Structure 1
């Protein structure tokens, strides 16, 4: 009986014989004492932009939440189901992370969908369309800029949406209070899948710049 796809089982065997065997003590410590990551990363679901891989992180080092286009919705305590907000609440209030990084990436499918709102929905529910409507005002402005190429518009909105998500993070009282006290810092980053380049957002100007060792 096939319980999991063969490639997953093969990968698991490699993990147990490789990384787990060399980090067994670390995993057992984490199991016994719990996780205490200093950094939360809000990233995209895209399989090409995994934060743990990009930042070469070990077990217990990053608390990661992934959604379509790495968006953070505004603070909205309305009784609905809010996955990203729940993860944020846990990271800040329980784990007491010191940093939150919104990590975007090039060639993001969610951003592409936002730039083409007239495209046929993937399903009657149009969950992607509704989710990406959070950046619709910016998407409309960028999409109608005839001075930019298609690729430039894509990159522009990918980076604008990171700044948008950081602004939304500050609508959460727990985030704003801790940031004002200097106990929590917010960061933006953008990863280029094709070149491996990482661009970090300047926290004063909002510009995206290459870190010194990039």
Structure 2
């Protein structure tokens, strides 16, 4: 592969810094993870957004979370059609192989993917409507939920509410997977919906009884 280049120097420097400090001070733990394998208690599905740092939010160490990231933290409905499904594959592995006890969907403020879906629904993003747009086709998962926020006049509030609906949509789609609904019904797995405010550091949890997000 002739187009691959050496790692940028700043990343090399950071790696050596990590190896000399964090790794050096916890060699036993890293070697135990390597030999005994992973036993995460939870899977977290979060957005690719670089500002969402899942392990920092929860103070998690290596081996605690099985993390999958994608645009707008979306989960597609169960569809074993033979196409490529990275998110579905990750969910299947976490639940059936790793036997995680908790499956968390984490949404966030100022989500570019969600805003892109809003723009699509308003006819303002023709580039995302193109069949060649991977982002556009992915955001079609969320499109049906737009009717719940289309009457909100304030753009910022509309986006924040739609971000929360993206979390709920993923929770609903997770329950279409037979191995997930079975584990939930047996009490072996619990689903959780969260939304974090990047600027304020706030965290909200979805309450199905009230169909609202409340502060943690």
TM normalised by structure 1 equals 0.92
Q: Aligned residue for 1:45? A: 48
How many positions carry a matched residue from both structures?
208
CA distance in 2, matches of 1:205, 1:20: 45
Preserved contact between residue 115 and residue 140 of structure 1 (Cα < 8 Å): no
Which of 194, 208, 212 does residue 213 from structure 2 map onto? 208
CA distance in 2, matches of 1:18, 1:208: 39
Shift in Å, 1:18: 2.2
Q: Find the residue that maps to 1:17 and give its secondary structure.
A: helix
Q: What runs of 5+ residues in structure 2 fail to find an aligned partner?
A: none
State yes or no: 1:127 paired with 2:134: yes
Q: Aligned residue for 1:21? A: 24
5 Å-filtered alignment, 1:43-122, equals 43-117=46-120, 118-121=124-127
Shift in Å, 1:140: 4.4
Q: Find the residue that maps to 1:188 and give its secondary structure.
A: strand
CA distance in 1, matches of 2:42, 2:208: 17
Shift in Å, 1:41: 0.1
Shift in Å, 1:126: 1.0
Preserved contact between residue 145 and residue 169 of structure 2 (Cα < 8 Å): no
Q: What runs of 5+ residues in structure 1 fail to find an aligned partner?
A: none
Deviation readout 1:168-206 (Å, 9 max, x if unpaired): 000001100010011100001011111111111124333
Shift in Å, 1:141: 4.3
Preserved contact between residue 71 and residue 113 of structure 2 (Cα < 8 Å): yes
Q: Find the residue that maps to 1:104 and give its secondary structure.
A: strand
Deviation readout 1:21-69 (Å, 9 max, x if unpaired): 2221111001001000000000000000021122121110000000000
Preserved contact between residue 131 and residue 137 of structure 2 (Cα < 8 Å): no
TM normalised by structure 2 equals 0.91
Shift in Å, 1:104: 0.4
Shift in Å, 1:14: 2.1
CA distance in 2, matches of 1:124, 1:15: 43
Preserved contact between residue 101 and residue 189 of structure 2 (Cα < 8 Å): yes
